Amino acid sequence: MRAQCCILAGVVSVLCVGVMPLAAQVERRDVPLAAQPQQRFDSGQDIQPIYEGWERHEDGSISLHFGYLNRNYREQPTVTVGALNYFSPGDVDRGQPTFFYPRTHRFEFSVRVAADMGSRVEDGLVWTVVHNGSEQRAIAWLQPEWEIDEDTIIKNTGIGFGRPKSEWFANKPPRLTVTSDRQTARVGVPIELVAVLSDDELPRRIGGRLFTDQDTGTSVSPTGRSLTDVPTLRPPEGAPPVPDNIQWYRRPRPPRNGLSVLWVVYRGKDSVSFAPSDYQRAFGEDEREPQGTQARRYPSVGPRNHLSTAVAGDGWTNATFTTVATFGQAGTYQLRAHGSDGMRVVSADLTLFVE
């Protein structure tokens, strides 16, 4: 068998003459991404840990922030802490997730370290995740350029769009407590989860992205042009439309105004259903989805319900929400509630034993 190789514009392509046996076929993960334009994989891909940066606290200690990218569009794997999901050096369990939702999830957890950790890569803390035969790492160390603050966090989560920057630093994150009506649940029997949020008076209400007569739902570019007017984004003539019955996971996004809460699985199996399943809002508002730059940089979807579902509170400085969780398999689950004031997101965990 002979192989002829040519290099064009930095992309290496391999042309093989003859029939390649099945066992010798190229693993698709080894094919350069440039040769796989716009390919999406439902499953079979790996998980990339992400180091978001470090933040210094008033007491001198430091937090290392982490997120992850699950390269699958449907697969939601569980990778338990141990040989396939661990930190090094030191304690292998630093509070990392074991259940991974599809695609990118920023600022999922933080690890508090001493101020004298060191600023060399050799002093770093390494998070390793192995999935689908691929080992990926994130190395966290105190490189000066990676020190972050409220400005960086808000810009990278995309939640504070349209608000004055003065509020970014004046706003205090909300406080969140969670409880359940019992610690032990049974498979198939619903259990009620309660989340209580309290907050300062910031951020203030901002004009919502209300529907207008001119709103056609067509995505637009930063210059206001429809994306189909951009030649490189225009589908070729005769191309079949993208089927609308194929829905991929879209990351939930909190509403712009008022307090809100979302329940997710942080550790456990892919067998939990929540009702409601997306963010619950405390301030009712008919809000359309963002477009343009924000929609492309931060792909997500807001609450489907435009009405308040809070059972108590004024919706701005305090709010109480109830959610029903139903488990499909026995085991130990760590559920996580994300609470938002429209600018910052905080988390609180609840561990349940399911029989």
Mean pLDDT of 220-238: 52
Higher pLDDT pick, 295 / 221: 295
Supply the mean pLDDT for the chain: 82
* Cβ neighbours for 203, distance < 8 A, ≥ 6 positions apart: 160, 163, 167, 171, 341, 342, 343
pLDDT for 216: 40
Lowest-pLDDT range of 60-74, 281-295, 338-352? 281-295
More confident residue, 226 or 84: 84
**pLDDT at 244 exceeding the cut of 60:** no
pLDDT band at 16 (very low <50, low <70, confident <90, very high): very low
CA 37 to chain centre: 23
Out of 158-172, 201-215, 248-262, 291-305, which region has the weakest mean confidence (pLDDT)? 201-215
Give the model's pLDDT for residue 286: 82
Q: What is the pLDDT of residue 231?
A: 58
Higher-pLDDT residue of 14, 104: 104
pLDDT above 70 coverage of the chain, percent: 75
Higher pLDDT pick, 230 / 321: 321
Confidence of residue 243 (pLDDT cuts 50, 70, 90): low
Query: Which is higher by pLDDT, 160 or 173?
Result: 173
* pLDDT band, residue 91 (cuts 50/70/90): very high
60's torsion region: left (phi>0), alpha (psi -120 to 50) or beta?
Answer: left
| 273-299 as b/e: b if 16+ CB within 10 A | ebebebbbbbbbbebeebbeebeeebe
Interatomic CA distance for residues 259 and 43, integer angstroms:
35
Residue with the larger pLDDT of the pair 212 and 157 = 157
Residues 130-163, buried b or exposed e (16+ Cβ, 10 A)? Answer: bbeeeebebebbbeeebebebeebbebbbbbbeb
Q: Give pLDDT, residue 305.
A: 85
- The Cα–Cα gap between 196 and 175 comes to 8
pLDDT of residue 225: 42
Selection from 310, 339, 308, 341 nearest residue 200 by Cα:
341
Give the Cα separation of 145 and 161 in Å (integer). Answer: 24
Do the strands 47-56 and 191-198 form a parallel or antiparallel pair, or are they unpaired? unpaired
Task: Report how far residue 82's alpha carbon sits from residue 108's, in angstroms, rounded to the nearest whole number.
Answer: 19
For residues 17 and 4, is the Cβ–Cβ distance under 8 A?
yes
Q: How far is CA 155 from CA 24, 70, 160, 339, 344, in A?
A: 45, 21, 7, 18, 11
Question: Is the preceding omega at residue 290 within 30 degrees of 0, hence cis?
Answer: no
Is the predicted pLDDT of residue 193 greater than 60, yes or no?
Answer: yes
Residue with tokens 């995309």: 158
- The pLDDT of residue 213 is 40
Does position 7 have pLDDT exceeding 50, yes or no?
A: no
**pLDDT score at 46:** 95
* pLDDT band (50, 70, 90) for residue 236: low
As a whole number, mean pLDDT of residues 250-274 equals 94
Convert the pLDDT of each residue in 49-76 to its tens digit: 999 999 998 888 999 999 999 999 899 9
CA 355/CA 353 separation, integer angstroms:
7
Q: What is the mean pLDDT of residues 321-331?
A: 97
Confidence class of residue 20 from pLDDT cuts 50, 70 and 90? very low
Residue owning tokens 């701005």 = 316
For residues 231 and 162, which has the higher predicted lDDT (pLDDT)?
Answer: 162
* Span between the terminal Cα atoms of the chain, in Å: 58
Which amino acid does the sequence have at 300?
Answer: S
Tell me the mean pLDDT in the region 233-258: 70
Which option is the CATH number for 165-225+250-354: 2.60.40.2410, 3.30.360.10, 1.20.140.10, 3.20.20.60?
2.60.40.2410
Mean pLDDT, residues 322-339: 97
Residue 6: strand pairing partners: 13
What pLDDT score does 214 carry?
Answer: 41
* pLDDT at residue number 21: 47
For residue 232, pLDDT beyond 70: no
Q: How far is CA 122 from CA 52, 55, 112, in A?
A: 18, 19, 18
pTM: 0.79
Q: At 41, is the pLDDT very low, low, confident or very high (cuts 50, 70, 90)? A: confident
